[in-house]
Amino acid sequence: MSETLTAPTAVKIVIAGGFGAGKTTMVGSVSEIVPLRTEEVLTEASAGVDDLAGIEEKNTTTVALDFGRITINQQLVLYLFGTPGQDRFWFMWNELARGAIGAVVIVDTRRIEASFPAIDFFESRGIPFIVTVNQFDGSIPYGAEEVRHALDIDDEVPVVVSDARNREAAKNALVELIEYSIRRLDETEGEAGAGDGEPVDSEVPAAQ
């Protein structure tokens, strides 16, 4: 009974979409903390550089990431990370997406093309994502199917009408994504002939 202190397991969901689409708003709607901001320092050489001590001016910049937290139980925490808005920070998206449950891509129907890069990113990497159509005051109320058509995404990708400001709507979007991720996982395991499923993992925290 000495020190068996353990830290919880953490998982994350990525919230993506164009600038001003409502990413941080959605994080704030469901997070138990006021969304936090962290910054990553980038250099021109960025990845793969071990020692930057000698590198001089003008080659660093920062990428801000807004994120929130949902404590599922004592052993399990979910983080929601908003992607940086600028497309030039793609490599930051790689760390964000690594090991993520999936992504919610928020679409603003006034600027639907702003969501294309995010959709391409998750599609090409096989990361599960859903699309939420954010209802703004004054936005044209396109239906989910119209948006699906405009985005040219696969039939099985869930498209839901949502409101980033609304906690219940934001929560439902997360539920939709996690359910979709589970379906995707089950399909993959079926294909692999795993049959009886349930991978053995002693470290999985149980739901309360």
Partner 1 sequence: MAREDDVWLDEAAGPLVRPYAMTRGRTRPTSPELDMVTQVVTARRGTTDRSGLSVEHLDILELCKRPLSIAEVASYLDVPLVVGKVLVGDLIERGDLIAGSASSRTAEMPNRKLLQAVLDGVRRL
Positions that interact with partner 1 (CB under 8 A): 2-3, 5-12, 30, 36-41, 49-53, 57-58, 60-62, 64-65, 67, 69-70, 72-73, 76-79, 81, 85, 95-96, 98-101, 167, 171, 174-175, 178-179, 181-182, 185-186, 189, 197-199, 201, 203-207
CB of 182 vs partner 1, minimal distance in Å: 5
CB of 26 vs partner 1, minimal distance in Å: 13
Contact partners, residue 108, CB within 8 Å, separation at least 6: 17, 18, 20, 21, 22, 114, 115, 134, 136, 139
CB of 150 vs partner 1, minimal distance in Å: 28
**Nearer CB in complex with partner 1: 191/201:** 201
CB of 136 vs partner 1, minimal distance in Å: 22
**Nearer CB in complex with partner 1: 154/203:** 203
Radius of gyration of the chain (CA): 19
Residue whose C-alpha is closest to residue 157's, from 200, 197, 128, 122: 128
CB of 145 vs partner 1, minimal distance in Å: 26
Q: φ, ψ for residue 17 (rounded to 5)?
A: 145, 170
At 53, the amino acid letter reads A
**Nearer CB in complex with partner 1: 5/140:** 5
Cα distance between residue 117 and residue 124, in whole Å: 11
**Nearer CB in complex with partner 1: 149/187:** 187
**Nearer CB in complex with partner 1: 10/141:** 10
Cα distance between residue 185 and residue 118, in whole Å: 21
Cα distance between residue 42 and residue 2, in whole Å: 42
